[in-house]
Chain A
């Protein structure tokens, strides 16, 4: 009985933490909505310069990582730890793939002289500077969360290998999963707002 109750607290605590993350990004979404409202045309044009194929691939990558995450938890509860571990590390690998894509995307942009405070960027319209300011801040903060997620999931994976997480103690895996899914949801919103507004 005690264990069930402890799990409930832990889950509640995790959801409350996720709420705070939503508000963290929420502030950025508010900024985005204001600046887009004020610079609608320029945002349209600037978005065309973003690499939609890479963005779409990244979306699929992250969605798939959510699937593998859910499957990892499912298999652990089914007392199949090896399968669970396989899916957990797949999640990590997909996360790494996402970050690799992102860095490729960013380095292409940097190469074209489009980065915060770049002289070429500063010459352009104010709205475009704002677009990229928001783009780098929001995808950057998101990428940071992906990186942290990779770290957490790897740590959880190590614990699983040492037997500290198992079918009777799934909680850390579940809570990490909740975090990972939220990171996915945030991207679900970022993707259309930056890549699909043409």
Chain B
């Protein structure tokens, strides 16, 4: 039995990878790139926390700090979390889970990866050219982004190009899900991971162009002085914010919907029970995608937006919390009376539920107009989004890595180490981010290089938390990387999963299935 790692086709060696149209190889190409950028982003965060360990300058100038938090945001958001799960696990597993041999447009899939790399290269190039590293924050708000002498133009161009990668991936996944399902694979027999990726793909197609045009206009303003957002020429900076957030809010659903899909995959397997409320979870993914596209104004409550708009956006924001709550309820109900095995994938999934819930609850404080006036642009917000994005999406990625590792690489990792790594991660994470909620509550603004002495203790604690967290990351990834080379050979179905990827060999053959399967049962049926 041959696996997809064996050389085939026209190209040899590394070219057999970077010119491959095999969705599995492309998924691994993304894995390597994305985790590398994640490591850079973590390092930038580490440096930021080091600077903030005490008030006043510690070892860098304010301009450097501004560049650090901007780059940390740009890299983490555009190069890690947004592409993250769809590009890696969506690419690898969507075709297999629906019983197909590949995605609908394999060559466009490869193109998406190349575009991603090109966008990333431009963004990195902007660090060393023009006026130097950007300092606008990842949000590039005008008018500052129009005036600052740093290399906003190249960075913004890089992000614009990254957007195409996302749009093309979305087109590929929607078409694949509609057209390439195996016989018998009805919509309601699809794994919930597929529902998550599918809902996400629609968002990718529909809202990415809006940030595309916004960034393009910003670029034109800087290059040619078109005068659309520039207040000196009659432009309205709030319009920039509207257009920017019309994308960037749904973007967080691009980040979280696939992650929720992963949790929905893992929990039934390790509780050995079918998922509670399959249709509710499937439809809630669509509901989040739809309602979540109309809440963007909650980022603008104190911007000068009209009160009417603020009220409506606040109402819609509270609405979108409902389908997320449905998911959490259903996951917990699945565990009830299940035969639970807390293997590493489940451990990370349970942690996801805990951390994401904290993040979600803190979001409610921001969604309420009165409290947001106090919390906006403070450390509370920083705590909130790290709980949902890091505690949410990134922990789901950790869970997915531990779940699908044997399938992707045909090897098993040392099973005790993840628990130790988890302990470091959990303690480190909460030590790093919980103080931020307190700091924000007490009024410390975000994106500040310096702070009042009264905030010192919590900042110190937070920095120590970052060290513990990083130790956990090193241990966890170290274990996995070691297993890549020295791990024991894995079985085809080490967890006893019922979805299609577990019915083929580990690692899968190039064409996934020797014969397209005929599907006759649901994805989470464990009784024989």
Contacts and interface: CB of A to CB of B under 8 A. Distances in A.
A8 B175 CA distance: 9
B277 interface: no
Interface stretch (A12-20, A44-52, A83-91, A149-157): A12-20
Interface string A132-148: 11101100010000000
B228 A117 contact: no
Contacts of A60: none
A10 to B, nearest CB: 8
A116 B224 contact: yes
Interface string B271-291: 000000000000000000000
A31 B243 CA distance: 9
Interface in B120-175: 167, 170-172, 174-175
A24 interface: yes
B105 A129 contact: no
B341 to A, nearest CB: 40
Contacts of B226: 116-117, 133, 136-137
B205 interface: yes
A192 B205 CA distance: 28
Contacts of A1: none
B342 interface: no
Interface stretch (B64-72, B209-217, B445-453, B469-477): B209-217
B interface secondary structure, majority: helix
Given A13-B175, A31-B239, A122-B233, A134 B228 contact: yes
Nearest to B236: A34
A16 B205 contact: yes
B227 interface: yes
Contact of B210 (A16, A26, A35, A122): A26
A9 B175 contact: yes
A23 B297 CA distance: 19
B220 A5 contact: no
Contact of A5 (B179, B205, B212, B235): B179
A17 B208 CA distance: 12
Contacts of B179: 5, 8-9, 12
A141 B515 CA distance: 47
Given A12-B175, A122-B233, A20 B206 contact: yes
Nearest to B168: A17
Interface string B281-318: 00000000000000000000000000000000000000
A22 B205 CA distance: 11
B378 to A, nearest CB: 30
Contacts of B108: 13
A24 B212 contact: yes
B206 A19 contact: yes
B438 to A, nearest CB: 39
Nearest to B208: A20
A27 B225 contact: no
B234 A24 contact: no
B104 interface: yes
Interface residues of B, number: 37
A28 interface: yes
Given A9-B104, A31-B228, A23 B210 contact: yes
A125 B180 CA distance: 56
Interface in B211-267: 212-214, 216-217, 220, 224-228, 233-236, 239, 242-243, 246
A92 B81 CA distance: 42
B209 A129 contact: no
B320 interface: no
Interface residues of A, number: 36
B212 to A, nearest CB: 6
A23 B175 contact: no
A132 B224 CA distance: 13
Interface in B163-209: 167, 170-172, 174-175, 178-180, 205-209
B171 A116 contact: no
Given A16-B175, A122-B233, A28 B213 contact: yes
A117 B208 CA distance: 28
B481 to A, nearest CB: 37
Nearest to A42: B234
Given A16-B205, A30-B243, A130 B224 contact: no
Contacts of B214: 27
Contacts of A125: 234
Nearest to A11: B175
A39 B235 CA distance: 11
Contacts of B209: 20-21, 23-24, 26-27
B174 A16 contact: yes
A8 B105 CA distance: 12
A8 B176 CA distance: 11
B233 A129 contact: yes
A26 B293 CA distance: 15
Interface string A104-137: 0000000000001100001001110110111011
Contacts of A12: 174-175, 178-179
A180 B206 CA distance: 20
Given A20-B205, A30-B243, A127 B234 contact: yes
B227 A130 contact: yes
Contacts of B242: 30
Nearest to B174: A16
Given A13-B172, A16-B205, A130 B104 contact: no
Contacts of A130: 227-228, 233-235
A141 B160 CA distance: 15
A27 B233 contact: no
A17 B235 CA distance: 30
Interface of B: 104-105, 108, 167, 170-172, 174-175, 178-180, 205-210, 212-214, 216-217, 220, 224-228, 233-236, 239, 242-243, 246
16 contacts: A9-B175, A12-B178, A12-B179, A13-B175, A23-B206, A23-B207, A27-B209, A27-B213, A27-B246, A28-B213, A31-B243, A35-B234, A116-B220, A125-B234, A133-B235, A137-B226
Given A16-B174, A137-B228, 6 more contacts: A9-B104, A13-B171, A16-B205, A20-B167, A20-B208, A134-B228
- Smallest CB-CB A-B distances: 9 pairs: A126-B234, A117-B225, A27-B213, A24-B209, A23-B209, A133-B227, A16-B171, A133-B226, A116-B226
